Structure 1
C-alpha cells in the first residue's frame, strides 16, 4: 500500500503556564469539561443575578503548577465555596487538588470535589470539606445536567459556603434519552415521511451547546427532509441503544446522521442505527479551533480522528465531513469567562447536507432512470495494463457489472471495452469547462493556471473540446481516468499529495457532474482522485478531492487485503469501499524480511494522524529494517536522506513488489466464491441503502473472517492488538513503571490498575495493553501470516527476572 507522508502542526496541545485573568468571586466552579462549564454558565444566567458572584475555569488551563499557584493567589483565595469536577481521578490533577484542599482548610472554604463521570470516587471525594449529604446532592444535580439542575447545584454550593441563594423553580431532570427539535427543546413525538434522524450526545443538550445539532437539523429541513434530533448519553449506555433502535424502527427513515463518537457495535455485530436499512452518515464535531483546521493539512487531531472517523468505520458509516469547531465566545463580564463551545460551520454543514441528499436522491431514483459512471484507472499506463487494478481484472469486472446491472433493470449496453476505450471518445466543449471552472474557489483556479497554464494547451484538449476515453452505454458511462500529471512522471506523482491535477483531469470530473451523474463506481484499487492535494480528512471547500467529486456518491470495489488505501478513499471522498477477493491462490508469500517490512509500512499508515510518537518510531524501524535487508543500497538511498525521503522510496519498492505477486488469473468482481455477496453489495450501494461493514485482510493468510466479500471495508482489526511494535514499546513502558516504583518504594508493586481506552488503544496499536501484559508476565503470540494475535504465553519467572504483578 502507499502511505501518506506529510508534516502537520497546530492540532495538539501541551501544558503551558496560563493565567485566566479572573478577579475573586464568592463561588468558583472548575471542570475538565466545556459542557459542564457551559451548563453552569447557563444556570447562573438563568438566576438573573440572584446567585452570588461566580467564576468558571477549565482545569485544562490549570494543568501547570505555576497556573495553579497563580489562580489560587489571584482568584480562589477570595472564594467562599469551590466545586471541582474531574475525570481521571486524583492522578489527573494532583497538585491542584492538594493546593485547593490546603487553601480550603486554611481559609474555611467549602470545597466539593466530585468525579465528572458519575462513578463514585472515594479518593477524589476525600479532598472535600463539605458534609457528605451536601456532596451527594451536588453530585446528583451535576450528573443530571441542564440549566435548571446547574442553577440548583450553584444554589446548593452557595448555601454550603454560608451564602444566600433563593429557591430554584423548574424541572431539574433531563431524560437520559429523548427527542429534540430546535426552538422547542425536548419534545414528545415527531412526524414526517422523509425522516432524517440526527443522533447526538445528551451533554450537548444539558450544556446548551447545540449549535451544530441545530444547524444540521435546520439544514436538512430546508432541503426538504423531516429532520429531528435524538439525544443519548452514548449509544452504548444502558437502555440507550434499545431506545434508539425502537425509535428508528417506528417509521421509515431516508438517512441517519450520527454525531456521537466511537463504534456502537455490540457483541452481536449489530448497532442501534442499523434497523432502518438506510445509509448512516458520520459527522465530526471537532474539538479544535477552526483556524487550526484551516492551517493544518491533517484536518483532525489524533483523538478526533480516532473517535469520529476510524472507530465509526467499524459500523459501516459513511464519513460525511466536519460540522463544527470549538472556540471561545465573547467573554462574559459577570462571569469573567469565555465559554468554549461548538460553533457550526455553515459551509461544512451545507456540504454534509448535500452529500446526504445525493445518496437519498440515488435511493429515490428508479433503476431505469439512474445515471452512473464506471471509472477505470490508467496507472501504470502501459498499453498492456489499461484499466489496471491490484488483483482485479478491471475490464472483465466492468463487463460483469454491466451484465449484472442489465439483469437488475438498468438500460445498459454491452460492448468490447478494451477496443472501445482505446478508440472512442466523448467530448466536452472548452467553454463549458470554463463555465464550470469559474464556480471553483479563486485560489484553486489560480493554482491550476500557475501550474498548468491555459486549458487549451492540455493534451486532452483539441479543437476547442476536451476528449475523454469514454463510452456511453445507455444509462452507464464507462471511462478511463485521465492522467493527473505528466505521463513520464506518473510513478512519482501518483501519490503526490502536493501535485495539482492538470486541466484534463479536472475537466473529466466536472464533466461527469455536468452530465448529471448520480453515482460513480471506481473499479478497483486504485485511482488518483483520493490522492489529490488537500487535507488528510475532514476536507474543506478548497481540497481537490471534494471540489471534483462534490457530493456525488462514490462506490469503490477494492481488494480486501489493502485496508490502508481503502481508508484513503473512505476518508477523503466519502467512498463506500466494497471488498473483493484477491486472485485465487495467486498471491505468493513475500520473503520473511520483506513481509515484516510490509507489516511495518501498514502499521505506519494506521499511525499517521493518530500518534506522532508512534509514527516517528516506525520511520526509524522501517529504515533500519530496510538497511538490514540491503534495500538502502539497492534503492540508492543516501545516508543523508531524511526519514521521509527514505520511506517514500521504500514504500514505492514494496508496493511495486506486492503488485507483481499476482498472476494472470485476476479476480473478476461479482464472480467466484463470493460472487453473490459482491454483486449484492454493489447493487445495494447503487440503491442507496446501507451496506454492512466487513473486516479487511487476506483470506490466504488465515483471515477467513473477511468473507463474504462485498461488504464495506474497515481497517481496524481488534485481533491485531497489540502489534509487534506496540508490544516492544509496551515492554519499555512497563519496565519504566517498575523502575519508578522500585525507586520510590524500594519494592516491586504487587498490584496495579491499568485503565484502557478504546481510542487510545487504537491510536497506539495497543501499547498500554502490551504494558499490562508485560507487568503480569505475559507475552502475546502472533500468527506469522496475518500478524494477528493468536494467543498468549506465560513468561517463566526465571526469564522474567521479577515477581508477576497483579493487573
Structure 2
C-alpha cells in the first residue's frame, strides 16, 4: 500500500511515520508512507517525483497547501490521480479535488442537483472563495460528527473527510495511528487483516503546558498554583509562548522547549499556551488577564508559530487580534520557525526568508501589532524534526529579558538612550529627520518623561538643549557636536567582538572617524538617566569613491563603538531612534529574517528599539521593524496647503485678468515681458493671443493649486484649527466613499447637473469655468469650517476635547448642513455619511498619541498597529502614535490600482507618441516600496499594463499570478520595460517582483510578431549579441545585492567628489546590477543591465505622494537620475525623462517632463515665501531644510541636466543677496548657509548654472566670510 501525504509544513510528519512503523510492525500492513513537504522542496525534480508518486499512490492526503506556486501544479496532478484524494485546510481549488468514493466535492461544485441530507452537508463542506473560509470549515467539522451518526451508510466517505480533519488537527501519536487504520480499512483493498478502529481523540481547544509536567493544565488557577511552588520571588517576569496544539501533540517540541529553558535561565517564568486551530484567542481569553481574578498576567507574549494570531496562513483577522492583544497590553513578539527552506538554505547568503515565509510570518503578523520577527528554529535537509537555533534563541531571550525589565523596573531607574541622526554629517545637519522639528519634539518628549517619573535633567529651553548637543566641547575635539564620553579602543575590542570583521573593510580600529587614535568620541550628552547621542555617519564622506565598488560592506568602527557603548558601558534599558530615518537598519545582512551575524542585529544587541517614524513612509518603516527590530511610533507629516502665487507670479495673474477686462497692447507686452522674466515657456511667438494667455493661465493655475507641506511637525502637537480646516478640505475635495466615491465639488456639480470633470478641464481655458471651480472649492472649505466650528482651547485635555466634540456633533452638523443648503442647494440629511467621516477623522487627528505612545512603549506595553500612508489615501492613519505597518502583500495591486495603473500607462505612451511619432521601444521604470504600498500597487500595475499583462486572483481573492492580455485586446505593441526596484521594494514586495518577472517572461515567449512585441524582439537580439540564453537575456528586474540598499549616486553628488558623469553611471550600474533570474534568485549581471538599458529611450518614475516631491529627498535623483544618466552614457543618447504626479486639487495623476516638474517644485517650494518662511519658523532645522532642497535640486543638474539657470539665480537673489535674509540664515544655521553658498559655486563650476562674473565673485567672497566667521567662533575663548 502506498499512501501519499502532501503538506507545506512538517508538524505531523514524525508522528505519521511513527504510526506507520507501528502498524507495519504489529499488523504487517506493508504500508509505504511518502511525504512531500512542498514548503521546503519544489524543484523540477521534486515535481517529477511527485507526478510518479501520484500515479502509484493508493491514497492521497493533503493539508495546509496554500501557495500559488504549488496550487496550480498540484491541481493538475491531483486531477489525474486514479486513487481516492482527501485535501483539507488548503486552497479551495485543492480542497475541491477531494473524491472519496461517492463523496466528490468537484462533482458537487460542478452542479449535481440531487437533494438529500447527504447533498446538503456536502454543499456545506464545499469550500467557498472567502477570506473566512478556513475558520468556517473548521467550525463545521468540529460539530458534524454527531450528525453523521444519524445518516445512512452512504455517508461513510463523507465521514472519512470529516474524520480526516479531526485526526489531523488533533495530531497525537495515537490519532495518527487511528487515522491510518481508518484509511487502510476503507481504501486499501489489498489489505485483508483487521485493524483496531477508534474514533478521534479530541483534545481541549486551549491548554497550558510546561515540559516539567507530563499533562497539560486546563485552568489558569491550577497552573498558577503549580508555578507558585517553583517561583521564589513574585517579581519574576512571566513570558507566555503561544503554540499550536498540533505541535504539542506531535511532540515536535525541541525548539519551543529550548526557547522556554533559555527564558528560564534569564530569571523569567515561561510557559506554553496552545490553541486547537488557527485562532489563538481561546488561549488568551481562557488564561490571561487580571491576576486578582486567578488568571496569568504575562509580561510578554511570544507567538512561536510564525502565523498571525487569528487566521493562520490562509487569512488574517487583524481587528479581532488587536482587540484581544489590547486587553492584555504587553509586547507581542512573533518568532519565525523556518517552514519553506532548510536551516542550511537560510544560513547561506543574504536573502534571508523566502518571499512566502516573509509574507506569512512577517508581513501579515505585523497587521496584528507583532514585533521583532526573529528566526529561531527550522529543519535540516531531509529531516522532519524542527530543531532550535541556539545562538538565535540566546539573542532573542536577551531581548525578551530587556523588554520585561521595562515593565518591572521603576521608571526613575530606567536609562533611555535617544539617537539623533546627522546626514550628510556636519554641524548644519545634526538632528536630521523627515518632516520633523527634532529639537522641539525632543524637548517636549523629555518634559513629558520627567512628569512621568523619569530621572531627567531638563534644559531650560529648546535652544539650550540644542546648544548643549551641537556645541558644548565640540571645538576641543573637532567634532560635529558635544562629546559625552570616550570609549578606549581596547575596551571597544572587548565589548564588540565583531570588530575584526570591520577591520577587513575599514582597517584596524579605531579607523579614521570620531577618535583621537586611542579613544572613540561618543557624541551626545547625558541628561540624568537619558542619554541623547548622534548616530555616527556611514563614513563614505571621507572616501566617496569607495561607493564605486561597494556592493557589501560593514559599519565603520565608530558606528559599532557608539552602539556598543550605549549597550555595554552606559547600559541603556532601551533605545529611541528619533525620526525618519537612520542607518542602523540599512546595514548589511539578510534582507529579512536576520541572523546573529547580520550587522543590524549585532548593533542593536539586546536593547529594545523604539522608533519615531513619519506615518507617510510605511516601506522604510517596515525595514526598521524587520531589520532593526523596532517598534514604530508614528508621527504626522506637516499640514498641506495650496502653494499659492507670489511676487511676479501673482503680478502676472493680475495682468492677465486686467487684459481680459481691458484688452490693450501695452498690457499684453507687459505680460509677455514678465512671463519671459519668469521663464514660463509657453511658445509665445507661435500661439494666437488667447491661446497664449490660456497657456500662461494654465501654468499659473498649476502652481497656485499645488499642495505643499508647510513647516515641520512637532511631536505631540495637535494641528491648529486652520490646519484642520485645510486637511479636511483637501480630503473632501477628493473622492471619498461617504459620497459614493465622489468629491464634494463633484457631488455639488451632480446636484447642479454640471459635468465636474469638464469644469476642471475648462478651468484653465475659461475665466467663467475657473471662477465656478474656485467657488466650489470655497464652498467645500466653508463647509468644513462650519462643521469644525470653534474648537476647545489648548488648556483642555484630549479626553475633554473629544467629549466636547462628541457632545456638539449634532450642532456642528446642523451648522454645516444649513450652510450647504444656502450655498449649494443640498438638503439637510443627504450627507450623513460625510459628517460621520469628518467627525471620525477630526477626533482622531486631535487624539494625538505621539508622546503617550512612546511612553507606553517605554513602559513595556502593547502598541496598537496602524497603517502607514497619507490622510487622503487612508483615513485610518490617525490617530498617530501607533505601530505603523505595511500591507498584506497578496492584496497588491488592488483593483483600483490596476485601473489607475492602466490609465497612467496609456497616458505615458500617448504623450511619448505625440512628441516622437512612435511608441517607445523600451522604458526604464523605477519602482519604490513606499509609493506602491501607499497606492496599493499602482506602479506595479502600470508596469504590467505596459507589458500588456494583468494580475490574476486565486480562490481566496489573493493576487497570485499574471496573464498576458491578448494582442487583439491590447491594441498596441508590448513595451519592453527595464525595472529598477529599490532595496526596500525588493524586501517588502518580493511577490510583486515574481509577478512582474513572470509577465516579462510570458511576453518574451509569446508566439507574436516582433513588430508588436518589443520585449521578445529585444530579448532575442540581446541573447544573440551576448551569447546567452533567451531565459537569461529576459532578466528585466534589477536591484541591489540581497541585504544591500541604495544606488549611492546621491552620496557621490553630495560629496562633490565625482570627476565625470561616468563615475555616476558606473556607481549606479555597480549597485543595481543584480537581476531577478528565472530561478527566482538574484544574480550579479552588469552586462545584462547594460544591454537592456541600451534600448531605452524613456525613463520614468511615479511621484506618488502629496507630501514628498522630487526635491524633498535625494533618493529621486539617486534612482531616476542615476538610471537616466546611465542610459545616456550607454546609448549615447539622452533619454526622455518623465514623471507621474498625483498632486493636484480634485484631479487624477498627471504625467509631465522632469524639467517641468523640477521647475514646478522650485516655484512652489524652494522659491515660494509661503514655504520657506514656514521653514524659517523652525530656526536651525528650517534652514537645513532649505539647504537640503537646494542640494536635491542640484542633484537633478548632476544626473539629468534638468535645472534651468533661473532656479539658481532666483535662489541666490532670495537667500544670499538679500542681506536681511542672509543675516537671518547665518544666525539660525551658519553651517547650512555655508553649504548653500558652496553648492551654488559648484553648480557654476560644473557648468550647470551660467551667471555673470560679478555674481560668482560675490559668492566667493561670501563663502570666505562665512568660513572666517565659523573659524572665529571656534577659536573664541
Question: TM-score normalized by structure 2?
Answer: 0.46
Deviations 1:209-261 (A, max 9, x none): 3232222223223322222222224454xxx5245323222331100011341
Q: Pairwise mapping of residues 229-240 of structure 1 onto structure 2 (< 5 A)? A: 229-236=272-279
Is the CA contact 2:355–2:991 (under 8 Å) kept in the aligned structure 1? no
After TM superposition, give the deviation of residue 694 of structure 1 in Å. 1.7
**Given that residues 555 and 576 in structure 1 are in contact (C-alpha distance below 8 angstroms), is that contact kept between their aligned partners in structure 2?**
yes
Conserved 8 A contact 1:97-1:127 = no
Superposed displacement of residue 552, structure 1: 0.1
The size of the alignment, in residue pairs, is 638
| Contact map agreement 1:90 1:124 (CA 8 A) in 2 | no
Shift of 1:564: 1.2
**Which structure 2 residues correspond to residues 63-102 of structure 1 after superposition, within 5 A?**
66-68=48-50, 70-71=52-53, 76=56, 81-85=58-62, 87=65, 92-94=73-75, 96-97=77-78, 100-101=81-82
Matched, 1:174 2:203: yes
Q: Which runs of 5+ in 1 are unaligned?
A: 1-25, 102-110, 329-337, 590-659, 739-751, 769-781, 789-807
Q: Distance in 1 between matches of 2:426 and 2:504?
A: 29
Structure 1 231/120 Cα, relative in aligned 2: closer, same or farther at 3 Å? farther
Using a 3 Å threshold, how does the CA distance of structure 1 residues 85 and 224 change in structure 2: closer, same or farther?
Answer: same
Question: Which of 476, 479, 483 is equivalent to 1:425?
Answer: 483
State the distance in 1 between where 2:961 and 2:372 align: 21
Specify the alignment match of 2:428 in structure 1: 384
* Counterpart for residue 455 of structure 2: 411
Aligned position for 2:633: 578
Query: What pairs up with 1:602-641 in 2 under 5 angstroms?
Result: none
Q: Aligned partners of 2:951, 2:576: CA distance in 1, in Å? A: 52
Distance 1:39 1:364, change over 3 A: same
Q: Does 1:44 align with 2:90?
A: no
Q: Does 2:366 match 1:313?
A: yes
Q: Is the CA contact 2:16–2:176 (under 8 Å) kept in the aligned structure 1?
A: yes
CA distance in 2, matches of 1:381, 1:468: 15
Mapped contact 2:537–2:559 kept (Cα < 8 A):
yes
Higher Rg of the two aligned structures: 2
Counterpart in the other structure of 1:302: 355
Quote the offset at 1:511 in angstroms: 0.5
Shift of 1:55: 2.3
Q: Which residue of 1 aligns with 2:303?
A: 258
CA distance in 2, matches of 1:257, 1:698: 31
Q: Deviations over 1:45-101 (max 9, x none)?
A: 45582142332223446986742564478xx48xxx534336479965355446541
Q: 1:388 to 1:281 in 2, by over 3 A?
A: same
Which whole-Å deviations, capped at 9, do the CAs of 1:484-536 have from their partners, x for residues lacking one? 31334579979977232221111111111121111111111111111111112
Query: What is aligned with 1:199?
Result: 242
Shift of 1:355: 1.3
Q: Unpaired runs of 5+ in structure 2?
A: 104-152, 228-233, 290-294, 311-316, 473-481, 645-706, 720-845, 896-936, 963-988, 996-1102, 1108-1141, 1144-1277
> Helix, strand or coil: the match of 1:208?
coil
Aligned to 1:400: 444
Q: Which moved more, 1:44-53 or 1:128-137?
A: 128-137
- Find the residue that maps to 1:149 and give its secondary structure: helix
Conserved 8 A contact 2:610-2:633: yes
Shift of residue 208, structure 1, vs aligned partner: 3.4
Q: Is the 8 A contact 2:892 2:992 kept in 1?
A: no
How far did residue 304 of structure 1 move?
A: 0.8
Shift of 1:586: 6.8
Structure 2: distance between partners of 1:272 and 1:758: 29
* CA distance in structure 1 between the partners assigned to 2:549 and 2:425 by the alignment: 15
Give the match's secondary structure for 1:478.
Answer: strand
Give yes or no for the alignment of 1:117 onto 2:92: no
Aligned CA distance change for structure 1 residues 163 and 150 (closer, same or farther; 3 Å): farther
Q: Which residue of 2 aligns with 1:480?
A: 534
Separation in 1, partners of 2:603, 2:302: 24
Structure 1 residue 272 and structure 2 residue 443: aligned?
no
User: Residues of 1 paired with 2:162 and 2:348: CA distance?
Assistant: 42
Question: What is the distance in 1 between the residues matched to 2:539 and 2:1104?
Answer: 41
Partner of 1:17: none
- Mark the CA change 1:684 to 1:497 in structure 2 (over 3 Å): closer, same or farther: farther
Aligned residue for 1:643?
none
CA distance in 1, matches of 2:96, 2:365: 34
Residue in 1 aligned with 2:602?
Answer: 547
- 1:152 paired to 2:152: no
- Partners of 1:495 and 1:357 lie apart in 2 by 41
Say whether the 8 Å CA contact 1:371–1:516 is kept in structure 2. yes
Cα displacement (A) at 1:435: 4.2
Residue equivalent to 1:449: 503
* 1:698 to 1:559, Cα distance in 2 relative to 1, 3 A: same
Give the direction of change, closer, same or farther, for the CA distance of 1:268–1:733 in structure 2 (3 Å limit). Answer: farther
Q: 1:732 to 1:456 in 2, by over 3 A?
A: closer
Q: 1:757 to 1:35 in 2, by over 3 A?
A: farther
- Separation in structure 2 between the aligned mates of residue 587 and residue 766 of structure 1, nearest angstrom: 37
> After the TM superposition, which of the residue ranges 359-368 and 419-428 deviates more from structure 2?
419-428
Change (3 A) 1:173 1:92: farther
* Structure 1 pair 495–703 and aligned structure 2 pair: CA distance change class (3 A): farther
**Which protein, 1 or 2, shows the higher relative CO under an 8 Å CA cutoff with sep ≥ 6?**
1
**Structure 2 counterpart of 1:756:** 957
Does residue 241 (structure 1) correspond to residue 281 (structure 2)? The answer is yes
State whether structure 2 residue 724 is matched by structure 1 residue 672: no
Q: CA deviation at 1:122?
A: 8.5
Measured in 2, the distance between the counterparts of 1:36 and 1:553 equals 35
Distance 1:90 1:484 in 2: 45
1:171 offset after TM fit, Å? 6.9
Tell me the CA shift for residue 284 of structure 1. Answer: 0.9
Distance, in Å, in 2 between the alignment partners of 1:72 and 1:580 is 55
> 1:219: which partner in 2?
262
Deviation digits for residues 712-751 of structure 1, max 9, x if unmatched? Answer: 111227797343345468889998999xxxxxxxxxxxxx
Structure having the larger proportion of residues in helix:
2
2:428 counterpart SS class: helix
Q: Secondary structure at the match of 1:57?
A: strand
Q: SS of 1:521's equivalent?
A: strand
Residues 426 and 471 in structure 1, CA contact (< 8 A), matched pair in contact too? yes
Question: Which residue, out of 717, 721, 728, partners 2:894?
Answer: 721
Cα distance change on mapping 1:135 and 1:83 into 2, 3 Å: farther
Q: Aligned residue for 2:388?
A: 344
Post-superposition offset of 1:279: 0.6
Q: Kindly state the Cα deviation for residue 326 of structure 1 after the two structures are TM-superposed.
A: 2.5
SS of equivalent to 1:42: helix
Distance 1:561 1:519 in 2: 25
Match of 1:142 among 164, 179, 195: 164
Q: Distance in 1 between matches of 2:535 and 2:95?
A: 63
Return the match for 2:876 from 687, 705, 711: 705
CA 1:152–1:678: 2 relative to 1, 3 Å: same
Give the deviation of 1:165 after TM superposition: 4.5
Post-superposition offset of 1:206: 4.2
Paired with 1:392 and 1:736, the residues of 2 have a C-alpha distance of 40
- The match for 1:646 is none
Counterpart of 2:574 in structure 1 is 519
Question: CA contact under 8 A between 2:244 and 2:275: conserved in structure 1?
Answer: yes
Could you say what the CA RMSD is over the residues aligned between the two structures, in angstroms? 4.0
Q: Which residue of 1 aligns with 2:791?
A: none
Equivalent residues of 1:397, 1:669 under 8 A apart? yes
Cα 1:785–1:263 change in 2 (3 A) is farther
| Matches of 1:495 and 1:151, distance apart in 2 | 59
Asked if the contact 1:35/1:209 (under 8 Å) is kept, the reply is yes
